[in-house]
A and B are shown apart, each in its own frame.
Chain A
Amino acid sequence: MPAISKGKVILSVRDLEAEYTSRRGAVRALRRVSLDLHQGEVLALIGESGCGKSTLGFALTRLLPSSARVVGGSIIYRQANGTEYDVLKLQPESLRAFRWKESAMMLQSALNAFSPVRRICDHFLDTARAHGWNDRAAVLQKTADLLGLVQLDAGRVSGAYPHELSGGMRQRVLLALALLLEPRILILDEPTTALDILTQRTIIDLLRNLQRTLGFAMIFISHDLSIAAELADRVATMYAGRIVEIADVYDSFYRPAHPYTHGLIRAVPRLGGNDQELVSIPGSPPDLVGRAAGCSFHPRCPMATDRCRKEDPPTTAVGASHLVECFHWERVTSAVDFAEEG
């Protein structure tokens, strides 16, 4: 079993709340989310569309769109030299310095991540200059190195305009750009969703190698469980704006404690297995406007009881660093064990 938590905590999210404004009222996209990110670890955020995982990703660097805002909680970041500060309280200049240098974010699709009228190398130079690194030659050298690291021909790519590169190439350039300032955290929003299978494989391999070599912590957001299984050290399952389960990757997949996680895993068809029925989770995610009592998953949960409807489930520790929010987690784990034996 791999080490569950490598090194110190570098990011501490506590009770984070975020809302979107809509005509019907405030949509509570994040409802008191808490998690810790350790140095060099890979954390996967999985869940359905609309569970808030992307919102969480954007909130971490305060990149939410103007229709959304963070309304509570804290995001404490600890720099390499030990200084700690709340990202949410940073002044604009400090926030600019924090972004990309400490924590870089990659969007889902890199197709449009670059300004059409600026060359690739200019994007690197702009970024470096914005963080006070004015040595043009050194930046260009590093750019070439990074492009090589992501398996691109630096000579051709560096001076090119974005439209001259394919989608997969742009994804890799964005990855190289993200690593320019050697951030300690890399956040990836659905890194492979917009790509074809072959490019997906390339990117996943690249990510794994780069992460091992350079040692940055990675949060990647995905609804694709297979990537989580491949890359992650820990997996956090999100549902309706809360983290309902967080565990190391083996526990998540082999011993899930939350009915939703269990349902997600069962919904993935298996290669080479017997002809199983495809099982999906019935129903749809809840309306996030307003405050509903009880567990938000209960309408779709096969194990829901009256208690689930009325009371908020507490956070329970299932094992070492395995947390779950469910009244009936013991029944879930035993159900899984039973299924495996069968």
Chain B
Amino acid sequence: MQFLSSFLVRRILRSLFIVWLVTTATFFLVRLMPANPVDVYINQLISQYGMSKDEAYNLAASLFSIDFNQPLLVQYGNYMVNLLKGDLGNSLLSKGTTVLSIIAKFLPWTLFSVGLSLLLSFVLGTLLGMVMAYKRESWLDHALSAFASLMTSIPNYLVAILFIVFLGVQWQLVDIQAMRGSLSPGIQPSFTWAFFSDALYHAAMPILTYLVTTIGRWMLTMKSTTLATLGEDYVTVARARGLPDWQITLSYVGRNAMLPLFTLLTISLGFVVGGSLLIESYFVYQGIGFTLGEAIARRDYPVMQGVFLMITVAVVVANLLADLLYSKLDPRIRIAEEG
């Protein structure tokens, strides 16, 4: 298939491997570690709730989806099969809710906020980066560079707190309380503007935080790649050919300078998803980060496990999509593999 170059095939295989690795590691960690959650839970059931050993084991088995009677490898096999069927176990604390349903409920909000902010961040960051390169050493460049350096250094969750403190409490520019939650009560998901604008309203603070803390890296990298591209021969030749400046800036400089930025996508995504644990909690934005944070705090192990797996899968898929996009944009990768 010409569509899938060997570069992509390798990437897909690698992604599958990572997902497999994470699931397997989680399985064995949970079972085999000395103070593993299952044992702890069982002991807790026995000592605190006075259950008999059998009862405790049965309860734990159903909650954690474990069959203690089978040898470990068979358990592993069942575990993997269950995963592929979509069975991630049940929540310990919200009895009766499957982990999968929890994920399905909260993941879209994070995808929405993270996706939108990364897109905005990339577009604005590359534009500003080019401006900085073209206006090198001007006051604008210095100001933007300072801003970019500052914002990439501060941990993103602290920026979230700062936003709450300044925008919400001190200057009262936004109504933090009203912006909690992912949707205002009463609004139903639909393809209407009312729904979309409400979703945006609630996601605004997380999006702002992600935007501000990731844009700096795009800006600085784009500035340096643009500067490097400006020194390339083909830009001089393009000027010599009498091409208009706007075309040179867009098609010859920008288009080439932006390519190396795709490698940053992995890092930015990981950064944002990681920060979402705390950021969504601070803004009370019920996405997957919020869910994971809650699950960790309440020691809801199946949820922890399942959500972490889902986050990993989401990040891996996103990286794959970025790789796909990159291979489409850079002919040197695409065609070199076709041979």
Direct contact of A and B (CB under 8 A): yes
CB of A127 within 8 A of CB of B242, answer yes
Bits for A93-123, please: 1 = Cβ < 8 Å to B, else 0.
0011111110011010101111111100001
CB of A99 within 8 A of CB of B236, answer no
Please give, as numbers and ranges, the residues of chain B lying within 8 Å of A131 by CB-CB distance.
Answer: 242
Within 8 A of A (CB), among B305-339: 329-332, 335-336
CB of B242 within 8 A of CB of A98, answer yes
Q: Is A164 an interface residue (CB 8 A)?
A: yes
Q: Which of B241, B251, B332 contacts A118 (CB 8 A)?
A: B251
CB of A100 within 8 A of CB of B242, answer yes
Interface of B is mostly: helix
Q: Is B184 an interface residue (CB 8 A)?
A: no
CB of B331 within 8 A of CB of A163, answer yes
Give A81 to B259 CA distance when docked, in angstroms.
45
Give A112 to B228 CA distance when docked, in angstroms.
13
CB distance from B106 to the nearest CB of A (A): 39
Q: Is A130 an interface residue (CB 8 A)?
A: yes
Give A63 to B241 CA distance when docked, in angstroms.
11
Q: Which of B237, B244, B259, B332 contacts A107 (CB 8 A)?
A: B237
CB of B232 within 8 A of CB of A112, answer yes
CB of A130 within 8 A of CB of B232, answer no
CB of B240 within 8 A of CB of A112, answer no
Please give, as numbers and ranges, the residues of chain A lying within 8 Å of B241 by CB-CB distance.
Answer: 99-100, 104, 123, 126-127, 130, 177
Q: Is A74 an interface residue (CB 8 A)?
A: no
Please give, as numbers and ranges, the residues of chain B lying within 8 Å of A111 by CB-CB distance.
Answer: 233
Chain B count of residues within 8 A CB distance of the other chain: 24
Please give, as numbers and ranges, the residues of chain B lying within 8 Å of A126 by CB-CB distance.
Answer: 238, 241, 243, 247, 251
A-B CB proximity, top 5 nearest: A99-B242, A112-B233, A96-B242, A161-B331, A100-B242
CB of A161 within 8 A of CB of B233, answer no
Q: Is A61 an interface residue (CB 8 A)?
A: yes
11 interchain pairs (CB within 8 A)? A96-B243, A96-B244, A101-B242, A112-B233, A117-B259, A123-B241, A127-B243, A130-B241, A161-B332, A163-B336, A177-B241
CB distance from A176 to the nearest CB of B (A): 13
Give A274 to B334 CA distance when docked, in angstroms.
57
Given contacts A116-B256, A118-B251, is CB(A107)–CB(B242) below 8 Å? no
CB of A97 within 8 A of CB of B233, answer no
CB of A113 within 8 A of CB of B242, answer no
Please give, as numbers and ranges, the residues of chain A lying within 8 Å of B232 by CB-CB distance.
Answer: 112
CB of A115 within 8 A of CB of B247, answer no
Bits for B170-188, please: 1 = Cβ < 8 Å to A, else 0.
0000000000000000000
Give A164 to B337 CA distance when docked, in angstroms.
12
CB distance from A126 to the nearest CB of B (A): 6
Give A123 to B252 CA distance when docked, in angstroms.
10
Closest to A99 in B: B242
Which of B237, B251, B331 is packed against the most chain A CB atoms within 10 Å?
B237
Give A104 to B238 CA distance when docked, in angstroms.
11
CB of B234 within 8 A of CB of A63, answer no
Q: Is B105 an interface residue (CB 8 A)?
A: no
CB of B237 within 8 A of CB of A117, answer no
CB of B331 within 8 A of CB of A116, answer yes
CB of B240 within 8 A of CB of A104, answer yes
A99-B242, A126-B247 known; 8 other A-B pairs, CB under 8 Å?
A: A96-B242, A99-B240, A109-B233, A117-B329, A117-B330, A126-B241, A130-B244, A163-B335
Give A278 to B247 CA distance when docked, in angstroms.
51
Please give, as numbers and ranges, the residues of chain A lying within 8 Å of B242 by CB-CB distance.
Answer: 95-101, 127, 130-131
Closest to A112 in B: B233
Please give, as numbers and ranges, the residues of chain B lying within 8 Å of A95 by CB-CB distance.
Answer: 242
Please give, as numbers and ranges, the residues of chain A lying within 8 Å of B238 by CB-CB distance.
Answer: 115, 126
Closest to B331 in A: A161
Given contacts A161-B331, A163-B332, is CB(A115)–CB(B234) below 8 Å? yes
Please give, as numbers and ranges, the residues of chain B lying within 8 Å of A115 by CB-CB distance.
Answer: 234, 238, 251-252, 255-256
Given contacts A97-B242, A99-B241, A99-B242, is CB(A117)–CB(B331) below 8 Å? yes
Please give, as numbers and ranges, the residues of chain A lying within 8 Å of B239 by CB-CB distance.
Answer: 63, 99
Q: Which of A98, A113, A161, A163 contacts B234 (CB 8 A)?
A: A113
Within 8 A of A (CB), among B226-279: 232-234, 236-244, 247, 251-252, 255-256, 259
CB of A61 within 8 A of CB of B233, answer no
Please give, as numbers and ranges, the residues of chain B lying within 8 Å of A127 by CB-CB distance.
Answer: 241-243
Closest to A174 in B: B237
CB distance from A177 to the nearest CB of B (A): 8
Bits for A166-200, please: 1 = Cβ < 8 Å to B, else 0.
00000000100100000000000000000000000
CB of A112 within 8 A of CB of B243, answer no
CB of A112 within 8 A of CB of B247, answer no
Given contacts A63-B239, A112-B234, A161-B332, is CB(A117)–CB(B244) below 8 Å? no
Give A117 to B240 CA distance when docked, in angstroms.
19
CB distance from A183 to the nearest CB of B (A): 11
Give A40 to B225 CA distance when docked, in angstroms.
42
Closest to A102 in B: B242
CB of B240 within 8 A of CB of A63, answer yes
Give A174 to B238 CA distance when docked, in angstroms.
12
Please give, as numbers and ranges, the residues of chain B lying within 8 Å of A61 by CB-CB distance.
Answer: 240
Q: Which of A105, A109, A114, A164 contacts B335 (CB 8 A)?
A: A164
CB distance from A111 to the nearest CB of B (A): 8
Please give, as numbers and ranges, the residues of chain B lying within 8 Å of A100 by CB-CB distance.
Answer: 240-242
Please give, as numbers and ranges, the residues of chain A lying within 8 Å of B236 by CB-CB distance.
Answer: 63, 107
Given contacts A63-B236, A126-B241, A130-B241, is CB(A117)–CB(B255) below 8 Å? yes
